[in-house]
Chain A
Amino acid sequence: DGGITQSPKYLFRKEGQNVTLSCEQNLNHDAMYWYRQDPGQGLRLIYYSQIVNDFQKGDIAEGYSVSREKKESFPLTVTSAQKNPTAFYLCASSGNSGSTDTQYFGPGTRLTVL
């Protein structure tokens, strides 16, 4: 099956610890994205990557880091510098960086920092 997988579905961490969220896609998509979702605020873009070994900051990149060493994978690290990390995190991918391609979403990871 083609799709986007995110693991784990639920993640708990202690305050002050870094944590890495996984996102893998087998759709052969060039572009990948990370969003954060908080109640009543819609989705906000954290980072995005159009090609391997390249990524750009989104609207709320502070306290987060990413890497894009492989086309299929775009892990997100939530660092201890992120002041309010508890949220639902969604990964997406699209076929290219052009103006017509649709983003497809993974099932999300709910991170709770205790």
Chain B
Amino acid sequence: AQSVTQLDSHVSVSEGTPVLLRCNYSSSYSPSLFWYVQHPNKGLQLLLKYTSAATLVKGINGFEAEFKKSETSFHLTKPSAHMSDAAEYFCVVRIMNSGYSTLTFGKGTMLLVSP
């Protein structure tokens, strides 16, 4: 079965320092993976996605993620955090089931950014 595990429920950084949000996946075949961001009481916004093309994926707002098959990881990074990055981040794997695709979400990582 396909699943994702977000290794940290909360990550705290200072503004201007690097961000690392960790995600490991489990999949019996080459997965499609996504990172979404959610600001308080809002819907989810797609940051980036990996669909078996380049292993280093660049997304919006300076975020990027690297697909590492040997480590079954898809960690999200950003070189320098901004206050506006404070939000909850979800790592997501796409599941194919009888020709239909659905998403399975990690439990989320809350990113806290201090001045």
Contact = CB atoms under 8 A, between A and B. Distances in A.
Tell me whether A and B are bound partners: yes
Interface of A: 4, 6, 33, 35, 40-45, 48, 50, 56, 58, 88, 90, 92, 97-108, 110
Nearest to A9: B41
A104 B43 CA distance: 9
Q: Report which residue of B41, B44, B90, B96 has the largest number of chain A beta carbons within 10 angstroms of its beta carbon.
A: B44
Nearest to B94: A99
Q: What does DSSP make chain B's interface, helix, strand, loop or mixed?
A: strand
Contact of B32 (A56, A97, A100, A104): A100
B49 to A, nearest CB: 6
A97 B95 CA distance: 11
B46 A100 contact: no
Given A42-B90, A98-B101, 20 more contacts: A6-B43, A33-B102, A35-B105, A40-B107, A40-B108, A42-B105, A42-B106, A43-B90, A43-B103, A50-B100, A88-B41, A90-B43, A90-B44, A97-B101, A99-B101, A100-B51, A102-B46, A102-B49, A104-B46, A105-B36
